[in-house]
Structure 1
């Protein structure tokens, strides 16, 4: 009879394990990169930044402009008399032209600003990918914990059946059965709480992907911690777009100064005056009534150039400000990288420790099984071991999630 009960216990555990293994094999998940690509395509935030980048690009075309052409006309109320006749009116056209290279300098400045704005697009995409990845791994954690809870609830039901059998033969009390049932209720509560958390995280991820909040999000069924970690140094931070942005801004200030120097140079203008002349009727002469055409050249000299000197001083201060901002941001990124590497290492250490603990808990469970064969099982010990196993399993899932989240942060900072 004892051997039959032991075999029943072992078969139940085997069926639970096989069921969970088949669940892993049959479950499926959508690739994280697919969600990232979909988020980048559909995100209103990305669309906003892309429009800003397009506007900056269009300003390059705007930079190729000339001052307005001046056209004027006047009528002589009192006609001035000339030798060949009276002047009737005056028509003028005038075009000012910037100094050589000014338009090119203006286009270069607009291009540098467009490049700086394009870096903002890259930063926005990377931040969105980071947020999607973090929510994705949180969903993995929640669903992996739900699966573990299901397995443990099933195991407790098996223990409950064993306890009921033991009560019948006087080897256990009804209190043991009630304790096992209460423990099942606690695990069901944890599962229900996780279900609500799943809804919230899923809605947040769908918001980033710009989908209905209750759209199902599929994640991978299992994640592992790789045997070795990639090594990173602070030098790898140099490729981070958050730092490249300051390089582009610095270059835009340089181009702004070149444009300022061109604006400080004279402008010259070309024009033409046309004056119609009425013919004289009191005499006939050469060029009688001949109209007047007068080409003109003008120059605009910025004699009072304090404005340009001030702009040059501002540009120099702006460069120093940008360099300080870059140094400050680099310090923050270094701290973030150190923190992420440290937390990733912590996740690996915790995972390995819990793996050892699970082996030892399994050994303790095996001892309980052997004790059950002799009819001396203590269901208080059963609950203690079950709680320990659940704690270790949950901790392992958290460690896996934390490892991948920190790896995502490291990739964001260094790639």
Structure 2
């Protein structure tokens, strides 16, 4: 099925390019704006930095605890068979139970994965927001063109009315009505200019560039002959849902780490005690320094803390499952609504295209009557107003269509 173009311009700008499983409705210009936004947006940069911090923490948790080093000097030297002890130097290192360090790294890696998913979600939401504002800019800019075309058309009607007044086939009132209509369109145009200025500032602020920077928007967009295929089951692959899976994995790794922390901890150390030689007698090993290796075990006799953490992790898993189910249902509702609005937009576009065709036919009939001197300028203005409304409705339908397609892409594309 071929879609009829809007009067006075042709739809020549294709904004569909392909991904693995979905058609993305970003025009070439829009794609470049999205790239700029991803590079400049400070919120995205913050998510990226948080991900880098989370990755770096893997190195942090992979190390051992601080080594304890101590030194003591005997004010009153204890005497031994081989001499008096002058000082004591100790070094001690606690070592976690086997597999604890790996468990810490796995837990931190799981946390880093959640940060990465948050980063991806933020980028996808930014792309959606840029697309939505881009299509709003398109609506305002294209509506301005339509209003300007209506003003040009009114200028021709004004000339016809002036000629009709001169020959007595129309009254001055008809001429004044056309001028009133022109004033109304000029006011609409001024309001659209204000809307466009504000929309451009908002768009550039989203891209984090100079707010006065020029914005290039597609001259025209068209509805594709067919909608790209998507199903509600695709939502299960949405990164917002994947985020809950990553959170669940991090809690699983936290519980494995908790079990390792509940295990005993080993300690190894060494004491060194320098000994002074005895001068009052000669003995074997006189003045021999003392070297004493040590090993210790830290046993968690009271395990209520670890049991409590395990119970908390069970509750956390239940909470995440409930949140995931709730979010999935919400996204499904958003998907159904987006499909409805997208399909309604297509229906509205086709309806207005047919209405516009009939309005043009009526306009031609009325203008032919001008040759017989029976032109009715009230009907001319009514038809002209209808054409303006139908054209604007078509532009609104196009904007709504692509906004909803952008939402559908966000919800279903991987």
**TM-score scaled to structure 2, two decimals?**
0.93
Following the alignment from structure 1 to structure 2, what is the Cα–Cα distance between the partners of residues 34 and 84?
83
Following the alignment from structure 2 to structure 1, what is the Cα–Cα distance between the partners of residues 246 and 92?
39
SS of equivalent to 1:295: strand
**Are the aligned partners of 2:10 and 2:220 in contact in 1 as well (CA < 8 Å)?**
no
Deviations 1:355-402 (A, max 9, x none): 110111111111102211111000000011001111111100100110
Correspondence for 2:319 among 321, 333, 337: 321
Deviations 1:216-251 (A, max 9, x none): 101111101111112322210011111111100000
In structure 2, the partner of 1:290 is 288
Residues 360 and 252 (structure 1 numbering): CA distance in 2 closer, same or farther, change over 3 Å?
same
Please state if 1:154 is matched with 2:152. Answer: yes
In structure 1, the partner of 2:376 is 378
Following the alignment from structure 1 to structure 2, what is the Cα–Cα distance between the partners of residues 391 and 259?
66
Residues 23 and 305 (structure 1 numbering): CA distance in 2 closer, same or farther, change over 3 Å?
closer
Alpha-carbon distance, 1:21 to partner: 4.7
In structure 1, the partner of 2:120 is 122
Following the alignment from structure 2 to structure 1, what is the Cα–Cα distance between the partners of residues 319 and 187?
55
Matches within 5 A, 1:76-155: 76-155=74-153
SS of equivalent to 1:31: helix
Following the alignment from structure 1 to structure 2, what is the Cα–Cα distance between the partners of residues 402 and 84?
95
SS of equivalent to 2:275: coil
Correspondence for 1:407 among 405, 408, 412: 405
Deviations 1:284-336 (A, max 9, x none): 12111111111111100001111111111111111111111111110110010
Following the alignment from structure 2 to structure 1, what is the Cα–Cα distance between the partners of residues 268 and 390?
86
Alpha-carbon distance, 1:80 to partner: 1.6
SS of equivalent to 1:284: coil
Deviations 1:120-178 (A, max 9, x none): 11011111111110111011111111111111101111001001001111000000000
Following the alignment from structure 1 to structure 2, what is the Cα–Cα distance between the partners of residues 116 and 303?
34
Please state if 1:57 is matched with 2:55. Answer: yes
Following the alignment from structure 1 to structure 2, what is the Cα–Cα distance between the partners of residues 292 and 102?
34
In structure 1, the partner of 2:385 is 387
Residues 171 and 200 (structure 1 numbering): CA distance in 2 closer, same or farther, change over 3 Å?
same
Runs of at least 5 residues in structure 2 that lack an aligned partner in the other structure: 1-6, 14-26
In structure 2, the partner of 1:274 is 272
| Root-mean-square deviation (Å) | 1.5
**Are the aligned partners of 1:67 and 1:97 in contact in 2 as well (CA < 8 Å)?**
yes
Deviations 1:252-278 (A, max 9, x none): 000000000000000111111111111
Following the alignment from structure 1 to structure 2, what is the Cα–Cα distance between the partners of residues 277 and 384?
114
Following the alignment from structure 1 to structure 2, what is the Cα–Cα distance between the partners of residues 215 and 372?
48
Structure 1 runs of 4+ aligned residues shifted over 2 Å read: 20-25
Following the alignment from structure 2 to structure 1, what is the Cα–Cα distance between the partners of residues 190 and 115?
46
Following the alignment from structure 2 to structure 1, what is the Cα–Cα distance between the partners of residues 202 and 38?
15
Following the alignment from structure 1 to structure 2, what is the Cα–Cα distance between the partners of residues 361 and 403?
24
Deviations 1:59-108 (A, max 9, x none): 11111121211111112222221111111111111111001110000000
Matched pairs, number: 394
Whose helix proportion is higher, 1 or 2?
1
Residues 344 and 249 (structure 1 numbering): CA distance in 2 closer, same or farther, change over 3 Å?
same
Runs of at least 5 residues in structure 1 that lack an aligned partner in the other structure: 1-16
In structure 1, the partner of 2:23 is none
**Are the aligned partners of 1:76 and 1:88 in contact in 2 as well (CA < 8 Å)?**
yes
Correspondence for 1:340 among 322, 338, 352: 338
In structure 2, the partner of 1:8 is none
Following the alignment from structure 2 to structure 1, what is the Cα–Cα distance between the partners of residues 195 and 12?
21
In structure 2, the partner of 1:202 is 200
Following the alignment from structure 1 to structure 2, what is the Cα–Cα distance between the partners of residues 127 and 372?
56
**Are the aligned partners of 1:30 and 1:219 in contact in 2 as well (CA < 8 Å)?**
no
Alpha-carbon distance, 1:30 to partner: 6.4
Please state if 1:248 is matched with 2:246. Answer: yes
**TM-score scaled to structure 1, two decimals?**
0.93
Following the alignment from structure 2 to structure 1, what is the Cα–Cα distance between the partners of residues 295 and 43?
52
SS of equivalent to 1:72: strand
